Chains A and B, each alone.
Chain A
Amino acid sequence: MKDLLRALTNVFWRMPPAFWVTMKHMFKKPVTLDYPRKKAAMAPRYRGRHYLERYDDGTERCVCCGLCAAACPADAIYMEPEENEKGERQARVYEINLLRCIFCGFCEEACPEEAIFLGREYEFSDNNRNSFIYSKEQMLVPHPRKPNPFKRIIRRVRRTYGVPEQNS
């Protein structure tokens, strides 16, 4: 008898509000994001994949001083220096292991030449561990910046990702 009464009060008194709650939530805006199609807004100071900056004439800013490697708490940066044809010092090998990198931004702060920056790209997954060791060529910003036929698409991508600013 006790069970019966409890079941009846549940059915007629406690269950309707529960149904109302789920129905209400059905018409609310979903809290999840339709991810690859829509991206969440990024923080202005987001630290993503590194890129290496150039001077306006196209020479690399990095002089391979090794301060970023020294500052790196994860020991993710490896570099070997060389001289270019003008007798300036530059990096022959400059590699960052993105699997070790903790994206703290210390390299960015340590750099005296303002050569390395953390960008906004965060979608660089891969199937192969070796392909996470990024070389200098992969990180250098392109030069010169040619007018691109797909400008409209690029602009849209940049609105979502943000873009490295060209500062000389």
Chain B
Amino acid sequence: MFEVILTSSIQVVVVIVVVLTGCAWATWLERKVLGHMQQRIGPSYTGPYGLLQPVADGLKLIFKEDIVPDSVERLTYTLGPMLSFVPALLTFAVIPYSRDFSLFGLEFKGVISDLNIGILWIFAVTSLGVYGLVLAGWSSGSKYSLLGGIRSSAQMISYEVSYGLSIVGVIVIAGTLSMTELVAKQASDSIWFFENWYLWRNPIGFLLYLTCAIAETNRTPFDLPEAESELVAGYHTEYSSMRFALFFIGEYANMLAVACVATTLFFGGWNGPAFLSFVPPVIWFLIKVFVFMFCYVWLRATFPRFRYDQLMRFGWLVLLPLAILNAMVTGLVVLWLG
């Protein structure tokens, strides 16, 4: 018993540290890649290639004055950033990043908590994130924040439907809700190590998942809740210092979580090529997640923001029918052929 508690506490600490540093350097990646895609240089003054930029940003945010406007609703104003930050971190509890391994004489599992309904847990928890944004927008007592909050709630609720439906295909094929089993079912010993990835069995599901996930994490082209050109900064207009930083970390942690879930569901999780078995599986996992993060930034550099009516039209008239169709067709195929 004691050993289980010890190993899982170590895992929790390590995963949180890795996720938070990952978030910090995701901002660097975003600024650098975005810069070069716009033929700028990007951060270049702090350390080689500006690599210490997140450290400088963090220090700046910590030492900034925490300004709380008079018109705010204190309790919810404080709760907002926490509510958007904590669910993002909770997601990582069920994401398998490696096979079971032993280190320093301790037996570790490749996941913090091997829930048998892992994927449900993720969807339940990420849905909570919207409360943070809505409460922040409402309690700030500013019209921009309120509009941002309303937009984010409408957008996230609309896209949540297709988001949930988009993974039904994979779950039907795999016949399980457990993340570790999903990964195990995508393993392959052949030289074509990617042959069992669910990406090939359910490509439409993957595209749907990707689109909805981007909308769920409020990223361009779906970043209406914080549309700079219209709403200053949306729901976090009135936040400063570390409160603002919490929103920021929350957003990037959400991006990482989405990337991790996509890797697990569609890209075989930590499974790597069998002929390179000496490489630790966590490396494969991180590579796949990195590719996703890069695609996020790439997408941001490529497309402008949706108009609000376009967003709603797209969500309800395109994504939802496609998601239902995908779930139905996959279900029928599995029923008749599997």
Listed in ascending order, the chain A residues whose CB lies under 8 Å from chain B are 3-4, 7, 11, 15, 18-19, 21-23, 25-32, 34
Chain B residues within 8 Å of A27, by CB: 36
Closest to B317 in A: A3
Chain A residues within 8 Å of B321, by CB: 4
Closest to B319 in A: A7
Majority secondary structure, A binding face: helix
Q: Is the CB of A4 within 8 A of B36?
A: no
Chain A residues within 8 Å of B242, by CB: none
Q: Is the CB of A7 within 8 A of B39?
A: no
Q: Which of B108-116, B296-304, B326-334 contacts A (4 or more CB under 8 A)?
A: B296-304
Closest to B299 in A: A19
Q: Is the CB of A26 within 8 A of B36?
A: yes
Query: In the complex, which of the residues A3, A18, A25, A34 contacts B39, with contact meaning CB atoms closer than 8 Å?
Result: A25
Q: Is the CB of A28 within 8 A of B39?
A: yes
Given A22-B298, A23-B298, decide whether A7 and B37 contact each other with a Cβ distance below 8 A. no
Q: Is the CB of B318 within 8 A of A3?
A: yes
Bound-complex Cα distance A11 to B207 (A): 9
Interface size of B as a range: 20 to 34
Query: In the complex, which of the residues A18, A26, A29, A34 contacts B33, with contact meaning CB atoms closer than 8 Å?
Result: A26
Q: Is the CB of A32 within 8 A of B44?
A: no
Query: In the complex, which of the residues A11, A19, A32 contacts B298, with contact meaning CB atoms closer than 8 Å?
Result: A19
Which 8 A-B pairs rank lowest in CB-CB distance, beginning with the nearest? A7-B318, A3-B317, A22-B302, A22-B301, A22-B37, A26-B37, A26-B36, A31-B39
Q: List 11 A-B contacts (CB under 8 A).
A: A4-B317, A7-B314, A15-B302, A21-B302, A23-B298, A25-B37, A28-B39, A32-B39, A32-B40, A34-B41, A34-B44
Given A22-B298, A22-B301, A34-B44, decide whether A4 and B322 contact each other with a Cβ distance below 8 A. yes
Chain B residues within 8 Å of A21, by CB: 302
Instruction: Write out, one digit per residue, whether chain B residues 292-319 have a CB within 8 A of any chain A CB (1) or not (0).
Output: 0000001001110000000001100110
Chain A residues within 8 Å of B318, by CB: 3-4, 7
In the complex, B38 has a CB within 8 A of chain A: yes
Output the least CB separation between B50 and chain A (Å): 11
Bound-complex Cα distance A32 to B42 (A): 10
Tell which of B39, B207, B298, B322 has the most Cβ of chain A within 10 Å: B39
Bound-complex Cα distance A23 to B37 (A): 7
Q: Is the CB of A30 within 8 A of B39?
A: yes
Bound-complex Cα distance A26 to B36 (A): 5
Bound-complex Cα distance A23 to B207 (A): 20
Closest to A7 in B: B318
Bound-complex Cα distance A34 to B45 (A): 9
Given A18-B303, A19-B298, A34-B44, decide whether A3 and B313 contact each other with a Cβ distance below 8 A. yes
Q: Is the CB of A3 within 8 A of B301?
A: no
Chain B residues within 8 Å of A32, by CB: 39-41
Output the least CB separation between A2 and chain B (Å): 9
Output the least CB separation between B133 and chain A (Å): 26
Bound-complex Cα distance A123 to B321 (A): 61
Tell which of A22, A27, A29 has the most Cβ of chain B within 10 Å: A22
Bound-complex Cα distance A38 to B201 (A): 52
Within 8 A of A (CB), among B227-249: none
Output the least CB separation between B169 and chain A (Å): 17
Chain A residues within 8 Å of B301, by CB: 22
Instruction: Write out, one digit per residue, whether chain B residues 169-195 have a CB within 8 A of any chain A CB (1) or not (0).
Output: 000000000000000000000000000
Bound-complex Cα distance A8 to B207 (A): 11
